[in-house]
């Protein structure tokens, strides 16, 4: 399996945005294509530092491609991606991605999997991250004995252990049962509120995006077709003013 950004870590992490802990992302006129297929075109999106952004859209509309572009795993044919004003390309050490499958290494213990996310493999930092997700007592276990929800917690701990300024979630809860999903949603929301990183959640579940995020954008025809802030206080129930998003996706 591919671990993506998590295995390629430089020794030193850059300074985080002191005010918010997060990073400001500014995408201008981005175009990404695979051969003849233009997946993203003229896409403009500015995400303030510390915002929790939801990205929704039909399957195949380019949500994962957008996340991969932001993560530096995809290159724009045209346009720019700026982090705190600086144009970037390639992987950044302060960006972490969480996928639908936990992508744990089966030959490493839970603790050693989390240590992959820490630049120098520091055990204490890894233990601290495991405690944050409620798995402090499972550090010596093999991934194979964990439930799907626990594996995703370990994956989240690995992402947090590097103290990211940007955390990208690509449908991370899609494979979980309903109850585990709600527990994980609450955990992600709490950690985001405590840590103040910028977060982007890709999901086909509009209700989940509305429950968790500050602002939901819809990707359609390779670009952002709708962009709406959420004004309800947390914790929140589903916001009925987003009903039109559902009808555009389903």
Task: Note the residues at the interface with ligand ADP (CB under 6 A).
Answer: 34, 37, 39, 57, 59-65
Q: What value, to the nearest 5°, has the Cα angle with vertex 233 and ends 231 and 236?
A: 105
Contact, 181 vs 150, CB < 8 A?
Answer: no
CB nearer to ligand ADP: give 64 or 150: 64
3-state secondary structure 192-204: HHHHCCEEEEECC
Least gap, CB of 100 to Mg ion (angstroms): 8
Q: Which does 11 bind (CB under 5 to 8 A by kind): ligand ADP, Mg ion, none?
A: none
- 132, 157 Cβ separation under 8 angstroms: yes
| Strand intervals (E) in the chain | 25-34, 37-47, 52-56, 78-83, 86-87, 95-98, 166-170, 198-202, 215-220, 223-229
Contact 189/41 with Cβ under 8 angstroms?
A: no
Could you tell which of ligand ADP, Mg ion, none binds residue 65, using a CB distance below 5 to 8 A set by kind?
ligand ADP
17 and 24 in contact (C-beta within 8 Å)?
A: yes
Q: Does 150 participate in binding Mg ion (rule CB under 5 A)?
A: no
> Judged by CB, which is closer to Mg ion: 49, or 202?
202
- Shortest distance, position 143 Cβ to ligand ADP, whole Å: 25
Min dist. Cβ of residue 64 to Mg ion (A):
3
As measured in angstroms, the least distance from the Cβ of 107 to ligand ADP is: 28
Q: Residue 39 binds which entry of Mg ion, ligand ADP, none, with Cβ cut-offs from 5 to 8 Å by kind?
A: ligand ADP
Q: Give the residues lining the site for Mg ion (CB under 5 A).
A: 63-64
């Amino acid at each position: 399996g591919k671990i993506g950004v998590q295995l390629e870590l430089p020794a030193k992490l850059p300074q985080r945005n002191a005010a918010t802990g997060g990073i400001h992302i500014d995408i201008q006129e981005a175009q990404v294509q695979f051969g003849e297929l233009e997946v993203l075109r003229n896409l403009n999106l500015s995400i303030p530092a510390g915002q929790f952004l939801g990205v929704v859209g039909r399957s195949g509309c380019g949500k994962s491609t957008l996340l991969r572009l932001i993560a530096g795993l995809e290159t724009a044919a045209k346009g720019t991606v700026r982090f705190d004003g600086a144009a970037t390309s390639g992987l950044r050490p302060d960006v972490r991605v969480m996928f639908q499958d936990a992508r744990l290494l089966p030959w490493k213990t839970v603790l050693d999997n989390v240590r992959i996310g820490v630049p120098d493999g520091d055990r204490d930092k890894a233990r601290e991250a495991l405690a944050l997700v409620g798995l402090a007592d499972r550090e010596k276990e093999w991934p194979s004995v964990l439930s799907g929800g626990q594996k995703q917690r370990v994956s989240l701990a690995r992402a947090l252990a590097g103290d990211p300024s940007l955390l990208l979630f690509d449908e991370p809860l899609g494979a979980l049962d309903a109850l585990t999903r709600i527990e994980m949603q609450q955990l992600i929301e709490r950690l985001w509120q405590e840590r103040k990183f910028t977060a982007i959640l890709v999901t086909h579940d509009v209700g989940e995006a509305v429950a968790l995020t500050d602002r939901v954008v819809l990707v359609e025809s390779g670009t952002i077709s709708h962009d709406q802030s959420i004004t309800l206080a947390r914790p929140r129930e589903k916001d009925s003013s987003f009903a039109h998003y559902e009808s555009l996706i389903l």
